[in-house]
């Protein structure tokens, strides 16, 4: 079975790669690192090396055995484009996703340079969504890298949101997720940062998904922004149905 996910914008997770290393400010309080160390302590074999990057060939074919169509977040416990993951393994992951066309796959990376470098060699299909994490205005170049790829559905994960984005351009971007940081040591999010992103989405006609306030605000206000929730998803009829 697929592992059901508590992440609101997906349904299941699939981890042919586990482990990672910190690359930018959003990594400071990494939830995956905390979980990996907990799983190591519990004796879970895929985490016997803790949060060290590991590829798991035995997990590659799992989506092919999941007959019920579902939305699958790929490598919730890692980054597929980490330098410790070989090109060959990345290609194998993409080939499995291409074959399992009854699912929808969501791939997310902070390593957008490598994504762009490998773009022309990847087996892109309309049901493979590609996203980049852009936690602060310091990393907007990741959006430009994503734009240049051949992914049919392109999305941004602006979580944990750590700065304002006063000039957010969403050309050739299909979906925006934003959220505050949760867990131990969570850094606060300014409500105006979230409003700026929401307003950019409205003006530019992009679906906006606000996941959570995070920190102490999460318990008090959940994901309510200016009196309502924002849980919009991309309209897929034109793009995904081209497959």
Choose among 101, 27, 21, 113: nearest CA to 69.
101
pLDDT (0 to 100) of residue 9? 84
| Residue 203 included in any domain | yes
75 is written with which tokens? 């490598």
Summarised one tens digit per residue, pLDDT across range 21-62 is: 999 999 999 999 999 999 999 999 999 999 999 999 999 999
Length of the chain (residues)? 243
- Looking at residue 3, its pLDDT comes to 64
Tell me, yes or no, whether 148 lies in a domain: yes
pLDDT score, position 49: 96
In this structure, is residue 45 part of a structural domain?
Answer: no
Q: What pLDDT is attached to residue 156?
A: 98
Structure-token match 């351009």, residue found: 169
Q: What is the pLDDT of residue 219?
A: 54
Residue 92's SS3 state is: helix
| pLDDT value, residue 1 | 41
Alpha helices in the chain (DSSP H): 31-41, 62-65, 87-99, 112-118, 141-147, 191-204, 215-221
Token output for 76: 């919730």
Q: Domain count of the chain?
A: 1
Low-confidence residues in the chain, pLDDT < 70: 1-3, 216-221, 237-243
- Boundaries of domain holding 188: 11-16+62-242
Q: Evaluate if pTM is beyond 0.85.
A: yes
Instruction: Report if residue 86 sits inside a domain.
Output: yes
Q: How far apart are CA 33 and CA 31, in angstroms?
A: 5
Query: What CATH number did the domain enclosing 165 receive?
Result: 3.20.20
**47 within some domain:** no
Is residue 168 situated within a structural domain?
Answer: yes
For residue 184, count other CB atoms closer than 10 A to its CB.
8
* 39 is a domain residue: no
In this predicted structure, what is the pLDDT of residue 82? 98
SS3 content of the chain, % helix, strand, coil (to 5): 35, 20, 50
pLDDT of res. 114: 98
CB 53 within 8 A of CB 86: no
Give the pLDDT confidence score for residue 238 in this predicted structure.
52
d(CA 25, CA 11): 27
């Amino acid at each position: 079975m697929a592992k059901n996910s508590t992440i609101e914008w997906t349904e299941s997770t699939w981890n042919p790669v586990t482990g990672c290393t910190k690359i930018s400010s959003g990594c400071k309080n990494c939830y995956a690192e905390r979980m990996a160390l907990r799983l190591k302590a519990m004796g879970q074999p895929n985490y016997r090396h803790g949060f060290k990057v590991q590829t798991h060939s035995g997990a590659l074919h799992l989506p092919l055995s999941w007959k019920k169509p579902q939305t699958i977040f790929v490598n919730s416990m890692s980054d597929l484009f980490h330098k410790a993951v070989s090109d060959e393994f990345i290609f194998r992951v993409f080939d499995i996703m291409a074959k399992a066309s009854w699912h929808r796959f969501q791939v997310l990376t902070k390593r957008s340079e490598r994504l762009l470098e490998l773009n022309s060699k990847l087996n892109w299909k309309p049901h493979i969504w590609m996203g980049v994490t852009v936690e602060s205005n310091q990393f907007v170049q990741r959006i430009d890298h994503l734009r240049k790829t051949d992914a049919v559905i392109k999305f941004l994960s602006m979580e944990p949101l750590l700065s304002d984005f006063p000039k957010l351009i969403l050309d050739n971007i299909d979906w925006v997720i934003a959220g505050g940081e949760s867990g131990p040591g969570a850094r606060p999010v300014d409500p105006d940062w979230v409003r700026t992103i929401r307003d950019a989405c409205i003006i530019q006609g992009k679906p906006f998904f606000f996941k959570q306030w995070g920190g102490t605000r999460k318990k008090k206000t959940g994901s309510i922004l200016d009196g309502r929730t924002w849980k919009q998803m991309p309209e897929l009829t034109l793009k995904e149905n081209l497959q």
